[in-house]
Structure 1
Amino acid sequence: MFAAVVSGVLGGCHRVPAEEAVRHAVTAAEHAAEAVDAGAFRDRLSEDFTGNRGQFDRRQLVDLLRLARLRGETIHVLMGPVSVEPHGDRFVATFTVTLTSGGRLLPSDMGVYRVESAWRQEGGDWVCYSATWSQPSP
């Protein structure tokens, strides 16, 4: 009995490969955005996050989600395949994302985007510290 318990505990303690952990973090950010959950989305961004080369910071993106939540907006997120590449102890995740909204706050910002995001580990969590996004040319 004791051996079975120890085996089960040790078996559950395996480390998730970093690339897989980054994929999970990207998915968690996607789900937080779609749930219009500013707190959960904030948890996926580093405190020094910068978006689109300084156009956005962590506070601005989180406040946008808070405002969307207050206005009863819905956000739908459809992600394409995520490519994750190591860069030393950090990772770059690239993907396409299609955003649609059921409200009026975000319509000009909705559409298809190509996203490149940079991730690092802080504590035990993977957080995005930089991201750029742009709409593909027609």
Structure 2
Amino acid sequence: MALLFALTLTGCGSDPDSAETQIRAMIDRTEEAAEARELGTFRTILADEFNNRSGIDRKQAINLLRLQFFRNKRIHLLTRIKSLKIGENDDVAEMVLMVAMAGQPIGNLDALVNLRADLHRFDLLLMKIDDDWQIVEATWRRASSLEEMRSSGD
């Protein structure tokens, strides 16, 4: 479920109109929404055609988020981009995103040693639909270790 919490990045590219910068801005907004426990942003970034290999569709993903928000009164995220590959026509992107989720502010990777946090890896397929980047496919799993988070590319 942390899939949608995976939608969090920091930083930005140098060209404000570049696909990478647009994707990072979308992820930043999503991170803020997750920490504020607001579903509205997720309704806009999950494509109508959203699915994953386990058969979870857009409606089910949003319901999983709703459950996460109900169970967790406080949500704090720390994200790292392991890879971001943008297609030739700047209309499709593949992203591997590492996400740590905890009930208190994380700060940095070193702080995770002393916190109880869930670590996840998200493999995302994004498409530019009507001038907005949306997630069309996502798979996720628990990260194998803190070292997997540390080895991220961003």
Please list every run of 5 or more consecutive structure 1 residues that lacks an aligned counterpart in the other structure.
Answer: 1-13, 103-109
C-alpha deviation, 1:50, in angstroms: 1.2
Q: Which moved more, 1:79-88 or 1:15-24?
A: 79-88
In the alignment, the residues of structure 2 paired with residue 76 and residue 56 of structure 1 have an alpha-carbon distance, to the nearest angstrom, of 24
Higher strand share: 1
Q: Which amino acid aligns with 2:131?
A: G
Structure 1's consecutive aligned runs of 4 or more residues displaced over 6 angstroms after TM superposition are none
Contact 2:81 2:95 in 1 (8 A): no
C-alpha deviation, 1:125, in angstroms: 0.8
Contact 1:23 1:82 in 2 (8 A): no
In the alignment, the residues of structure 1 paired with residue 72 and residue 19 of structure 2 have an alpha-carbon distance, to the nearest angstrom, of 36
TM-score, structure 2 normalization: 0.64
Map 1:78-89; keep pairs closer than 5 Å: 78-81=78-81, 83-88=83-88, 89=91
C-alpha deviation, 1:66, in angstroms: 2.9
Other structure's SS at 1:19 match: helix
Contact 1:46 1:129 in 2 (8 A): yes
Aligned to 1:7: none
- RMSD, matched Cα: 2.5
Aligned to 1:118: 125
Aligned to 2:95: 93
Aligned to 1:135: 142
C-alpha deviation, 1:124, in angstroms: 1.7
C-alpha deviation, 1:133, in angstroms: 1.1
Residues matched between the structures, number: 117
Please list every run of 5 or more consecutive structure 2 residues that lacks an aligned counterpart in the other structure.
Answer: 1-14, 105-116, 146-154
Percent identity, aligned pairs only, is 30
State yes or no: 1:75 paired with 2:70. no
Contact 1:37 1:65 in 2 (8 A): no
